[in-house]
Amino acid sequence: GNNEEASTSSGSSGEGAEKKELTVQFVPSQNADTLEAKAKPLEKLLSDELDRAVKVSVSTDYNTIVEAMASKKVDVGFLPPTAYVLAKDQGAADVILQAQRYGVNDKDGSPTDELVDSYKSMFIVKKDSGIDSLEDLKGKKIGYQNVTSSAGYVWPAASLMDVGLDPLKDVQPVTLKGHDQAVISLLNGDIDAAVTFQDARTIVQKDYEDVFDQTKVIHYTEPIPNDTVAVQSDMDEDLRKEIQEAFINIGKDEEGKKIIRDIYTHEGYVKSDDSKFEIVREYGEKVKTE
């Protein structure tokens, strides 16, 4: 019954419940330095793999995608880890896959040749600031992202708590919109330290060339799980399997890989399950503001 609602219009292959159109929504992860707002290429890849009509849309706000999954209007969603956990806890989504990326060289932000399913966040300060460790941040202005952001708030806040600093009270928190904005605010002295994914400085490098010379990293956080591919909770097992395989195949196929890399900066997908996200819940609990 619910699948019926999920499919807004039946495409060319609209016969039988199995062949209902699949709706997919993509929310880019925060740690991407190139983005294309494109849906068509993925649509084509997936419908070839699944042999059914697929409708892909892109959005930058994961709240909407979770709500849409909860009301069965979206079948498959690309969710960042924190968003996934919230969605799961609402009974709206189950993770089936995680995206893989190349790791990041600590030194200059360039990619390594090792595929990973997690990324890190980091604290950066100005080179000449005299701040060398997390402890030095006491009383300083720190640029966070929204409190729901894994790399922009949750993980760094946990790091601060590990060294005994309250992330909101022992430093002066400043909320910024966008990791690029955080780097720029650091550069122009509005804040003393910024937390960003690794390595957001490459985005700003386009506009401000010597950003790597002017800033330094004082701390890396624990690894943060990569983006998930989650499906709405009512989906039957068979379809889940099909979708899992489809994504994995796309990641292995040369042409498919090129597309997901160019557009979504993904290198491939691996199976995943909810247990991998316990860490997200833990961290969430740990830094919960109220």
Partner 1 sequence: MNNILLQSPKRTGKKIRNGAILAIVIAIYIWAFAGMPALEFKDTSKEIVSAIFSGLLHPDWDYVYYPDGEDLLRGLLDTLAIALLGTVIAGLLCVPFSFWAAKNIVKNKGISGAGKFVLSFIRVFPDIIMALLFIKAVGPGSFSGVLALGIGSIGMLGKLFSEDIESIDLGATEALVATGANPIKAIWFAVLPQVLPSYLSFLLYRFEINVRAATILGVIGAGGIGTPLIFALSVRDWERVGIILLGIIIMVAIIDFCSGKIRARLT
Partner 2 sequence: MKTVQVKQNKTVHYNKMSSKKVKHILTFILLLLFIYLSGKQVEFSLSSLATGLPNMGDLIVQMVPPNWAYFSNITAPILDTLRMAVLGTTFGALLAIPIALLSARNIFQTKLITIPARFVLNLIRTIPDLLLAAIFVAIFGIGPIPGVFALTGFSLGIIAKLIYESIESIDKGPLEAMTAVGANKVKWIMFGVIPQVLPQYISFVLYTFEVNVRAAAVLGLVGAGGIGLFYEQTLGFFEYDKTSSLIVYTLIVVLIIDYISTKTREKLV
The binding site for partner 1 (CB under 8 A) comprises: 6, 8, 23, 25, 28, 32-40, 55, 57-61, 63-65, 67-68, 70-71, 73-74, 178, 180, 184, 187-190, 203-204, 206-209
Q: Tell whether residue 248 is a contact of partner 2 (CB under 8 A).
A: no
Which has the closest alpha carbon to 182: 53, 135, 190? 190
The pair of three-digit structure tokens given for residue 275, joined into one six-digit string: 């247990």
- Residue-wise over 189-228: b if at least 16 C-beta within 10 A, else e? eebbbbbbbbbbbbbbbeebeebbebbebbbebeebbbbb
- Report the nearest approach of partner 2 to the CB of residue 184 (Å): 7
Which has the closest alpha carbon to 71: 228, 233, 237? 233
Using the minimum distance from each CB to partner 2, give the nearer residue, 160 or 191.
Answer: 191
Contact region with partner 2 (CB under 8 A), list: 20-28, 121-129, 173-181, 235-243: 173-181
| 251: helix, strand or coil | helix
- Report the nearest approach of partner 1 to the CB of residue 6 (Å): 8
Amino acid making up residue 190 = D
Interacting residue with partner 2 among 43, 67, 170, 274 (CB under 8 A): 67
In whole angstroms, what is the distance from residue 104 CA to residue 267 CA? Answer: 13
From the list partner 1, partner 2, none, partner contacted by residue 174 (C-beta under 5 to 8 A by kind):
partner 2
Q: Tell whether residue 282 is a contact of partner 2 (CB under 8 A).
A: no
Q: Tell whether residue 161 is a contact of partner 2 (CB under 8 A).
A: no
Q: Tell whether residue 188 is a contact of partner 2 (CB under 8 A).
A: yes
In whole angstroms, what is the distance from residue 101 CA to residue 85 CA? Answer: 21
In whole angstroms, what is the distance from residue 119 CA to residue 279 CA? Answer: 14
From the list partner 2, partner 1, none, partner contacted by residue 58 (C-beta under 5 to 8 A by kind):
partner 1
Strands (E), the chain: 22-26, 54-58, 76-79, 93-104, 111-116, 118-119, 121-126, 141-144, 172-175, 193-197, 215-220, 224-225, 228-232, 268-271
Contact region with partner 2 (CB under 8 A), list: 97-105, 182-190, 256-264, 273-281: 182-190
From the list partner 2, partner 1, none, partner contacted by residue 56 (C-beta under 5 to 8 A by kind):
none
Q: How many residues bind partner 2 (CB under 8 A)?
A: 25
Q: Tell whether residue 151 is a contact of partner 2 (CB under 8 A).
A: no
In whole angstroms, what is the distance from residue 114 CA to residue 104 CA? Answer: 9
Using the minimum distance from each CB to partner 1, give the nearer residue, 203 or 287.
Answer: 203
Query: Site residues for partner 2, window 195-224 (CB under 8 A)?
Result: none
From the list partner 2, partner 1, none, partner contacted by residue 116 (C-beta under 5 to 8 A by kind):
none
Residue by residue, DSSP assigns 6-49 as H-SS--TT--SGGGPPEEEEE---SS-S------HHHHHHHHHH
Indicate the DSSP class of residue 105: -
From the list partner 2, partner 1, none, partner contacted by residue 9 (C-beta under 5 to 8 A by kind):
partner 2
Interacting residue with partner 2 among 19, 44, 73, 126 (CB under 8 A): 73
Which has the closest alpha carbon to 278: 33, 5, 85? 85
Q: Tell whether residue 176 is a contact of partner 2 (CB under 8 A).
A: yes
Given the rule CB under 8 A, which residues bind partner 2? 5, 8-9, 63, 66-67, 70-71, 73, 86, 90, 146-148, 174-177, 181, 184-185, 188-191
